[in-house]
Chains A and B, each alone.
Chain A
Amino acid sequence: MTSADLPDAPPSHLGRLLRQVGKTIFTLLITFIGLLAVTFFISRVVPTDPVLSILGERATEAQIEATRTKLGLDRPMFTQFGIYVWDALHGDLGTSIRTKTPVLAEIARYFPATLELATLATILGTLVGVPAGVLAATKPGSIMDQVVRLVGLMGYSMPVFWLGLMGLLIFYGKLGWVGGPGRLDAAFDMMMQFQVTQYTGMVLIDTALSGNWDMFANAVSHIILPASLLGYLSMAYISRMTRSFMMNELGQEYITTARVKGMPERRVIWVHAMKNVMVPLITVVALSYSFLLEGAVLTETIFAWPGLGRYITDALLVADMPAVLGGTIVVGAVYIGINMFSDLLYRLADPRAK
């Protein structure tokens, strides 16, 4: 009889944690393979023949046959899928038809811009959204509560590409407060390639690390508008969820106890209740982060932002399917990763979830 069979022996904390992590990784892998199955399916029903799109119309029979064999298209579907998964797990997402470069290498170049934008937007959204939600929850039904609710619902109802255009029209076109489309002014854009070391591919970090503060200021003036607009969308979601979590906590008995003991209201809300609100908020912030990666698709086309969203839409317009699907896989993988990570954090932070 092994120790695992003993009913009363509680599994060690570490063991439980490891099992949790193992289970998460397993689910992650299954979901990822499912994701690949969908993109594989899409890539095989695509009406354009991949062989012809590589060779062109005037290829000979022999050339077509050779390419088919090279691409593995002559093998059974199931084997093809196996190879597809194997390649994807090894970072091979195919070659872009438009540029003839490996898709993953291209995405690696475009991704930092999206990451920079989405991260800044999430930070802004959290900084405004959490206090707004708490304020609304402490005085339900008040003017403040109504305003937070309405502003939030407006964020849910705004077409993000239109919001971007309006932002450009007002803050760039009419007021001239911010930089226009792109990550830098054209003059700085040229300098960027020669004078700044590309540590991360994120302009704000790279220029700051190089101590090039003029360029940093210019980058800030360009990123601030798209980041605020995306931040508004995530604020809408975060404030709403914070409100409902906080309402829930404030109805609990431990809050009444704290109040009866004469604890200042500020401390009751921001220390006692907040501690418990933080746990589900982790998931919410992570979710809004993954929404932003998606919202970036439309925002990036408006702001000429050289990120992943723009990469995918540009590829779409010329029917470059390997690039489109490669981008889909990467965004999907990040999406899955973030969700699993937040799930894990949630389990670690909430003792009841163990």
Chain B
Amino acid sequence: MTLTEWLRDPNPSSRLQSRMAQSYLSWLRFRRNKLAMIGLLISVALVLMAIFAPLLAPYDPITQTLAERLQPPLTHGHWLGTDDFGRDIWTRILYGSRITLYIVLLVILTAPVAGLIIGTVAGYFGGWVDQILMRITDIFLAFPKLILALALVAVLGPGMVNAVLAIALTSWPPYARVARAETLTVRNSDYIAAVKLQGAGALRVIWGHVMPMCLPSVIIRVTLDMAGVILTAAGLGFLGLGVQPPQPEWGLMISAGRKFLFEQWWVATMPGLAIFIVSLGFNLLGDGLRDVLDPRSSGK
């Protein structure tokens, strides 16, 4: 029996098999969506780039070679050209993917978790706990995100960790809203009542039985938000408030190329293209995932 036959078996013999068959069906639906597949490819490529940057990069990202400064693309072994310090732009984009991925990972490991906890607690307990937590959430939602992030970085001081902190602090509220809405729909269901009758405490109910139900919606939002995180981080870098030179952060590279925009256009253009392609990839992926995992909002 081949793997596909095992997955397509109409009478699954184990829980694992039926679960796998479900995932397989989702995958088939996902695969039909060409744009989503492109998104997946781009995301995988980004991860590979980040992992194998030292192997793929022809030069060093930091070392300056002033003799080779501002070389146009496709010359002297620099297919994307060099910047004002003679550093190979392709090399810097490769290493920059590590920074981008690192920032995205840090944000999606913090903000959604915080939002999930706040949302489930508010939804599960209801009453004044809900009132207070949701008021706070609303206040943060009312803030223009980028400007709050700017003000926070201004206080904390520029740097990558602070930029991550500022982005995380401004991006948890939507997750809290999503998690609360999901919690409200499952709170009164029979299986929760059954768990409670068996003597489970609030913490156990929320952690073991409410949060897993919220995960799919939160995960969809995370994929759709990743592009936003990349754009905000690049914006902070561009303003000189995020990652500091000489690190090859993409936003920072654009800001360096701004000085020679009209004469040496490639210095600002290439890292911007990298940001654009990667965020487009995440957006396509998120869009496709939503169609597969959440048929309600598929726009069909």
Contact = CB atoms under 8 A, between A and B. Distances in A.
Contact of B144 (A150, A166, A243, A331): A331
What 6 A-B pairs are tightest by C-beta distance, nearest first?
A34-B139, A162-B272, A157-B279, A157-B280, A294-B144, A173-B262
Interface stretch (B58-66, B113-121, B231-239): B231-239
Nearest to B271: A162
Given A31-B139, A313-B239, A247 B280 contact: no
A140 B300 contact: yes
A153 interface: yes
Given A35-B143, A332-B142, A161 B276 contact: no
Contact of B143 (A38, A247, A319): A38
Interface of A: 30-31, 34-35, 37-39, 42, 45-47, 140, 146, 149-150, 153-154, 156-162, 165-166, 168-169, 173, 243-244, 247, 290, 293-295, 297-298, 301, 312-313, 316-317, 319, 321, 324-325, 327-328, 331-332, 335-336, 339
B139 A157 contact: no
A45 B265 CA distance: 41
Contact of A156 (B234, B283, B299, B300): B283
A316 B150 CA distance: 8
Interface string B149-170: 0111011010000000000000
Interface string B106-126: 000000000000000000000
B150 A157 contact: no
A162 B300 CA distance: 33
Interface residues of B, number: 46
Contacts of A316: 150, 154, 239, 241
Contacts of A290: 144
B72 interface: no
State the majority secondary structure of interface residues on A.
helix
A23 to B, nearest CB: 14
A159 B238 CA distance: 10
B196 interface: no
Contacts of B152: 42
B268 A165 contact: yes
A38 B254 contact: no
Candidate in A161, A173, A243, A297 with the most chain B CB atoms within 10 angstroms = A161
B69 interface: no
A328 B275 contact: no
B283 A325 contact: no
B136 interface: yes
A321 B154 contact: yes
B138 A297 contact: no
Contacts of A313: 150, 239
Nearest to A34: B139
Given A42-B152, A160-B235, A324-B154, 14 more contacts: A34-B135, A34-B136, A34-B142, A140-B300, A153-B35, A159-B235, A159-B279, A162-B276, A165-B261, A165-B268, A169-B269, A313-B150, A321-B155, A325-B151
A247 B150 contact: no
B287 interface: yes
Nearest to B263: A173
Nearest to A172: B262
Interface string B249-282: 0010010001001100100110010011001101
B147 interface: yes
Given A316-B150, A339-B142, A154 B261 contact: no
B146 interface: yes
Contacts of B254: 159, 161-162, 165
A166 B227 CA distance: 20
B235 A298 contact: yes
Contact of A35 (B139, B146, B258, B284): B139
Contacts of A161: 235, 238, 251, 254
A123 B272 CA distance: 27
A39 B151 contact: yes
B151 to A, nearest CB: 5
Contacts of A244: 299
B135 A30 contact: yes
Given A140-B300, A313-B150, A31 B280 contact: no
Contacts of A317: 240
B251 A159 contact: yes
B148 interface: yes
A153 B147 contact: no
Contacts of A169: 261-262, 265, 268-269
Contact of A154 (B139, B251, B280): B280
B31 interface: no
Contact of B142 (A247, A297, A336): A336
A335 B154 contact: no
A168 B261 CA distance: 9
B145 interface: yes
22 contacts: A34-B136, A34-B138, A34-B139, A35-B139, A35-B143, A46-B155, A153-B35, A156-B283, A157-B279, A157-B280, A157-B282, A168-B261, A173-B265, A247-B299, A247-B300, A290-B144, A294-B146, A297-B150, A319-B154, A324-B154, A332-B142, A336-B142
B272 A166 contact: yes
A45 B284 CA distance: 40
Interface in B6-33: none
Given A140-B300, A313-B150, A31 B138 contact: yes
A156 B225 CA distance: 10
A251 to B, nearest CB: 10
B150 A324 contact: yes
Contacts of A173: 261-262, 265
Contacts of B300: 140, 247
A166 B269 CA distance: 7
A38 B150 contact: no
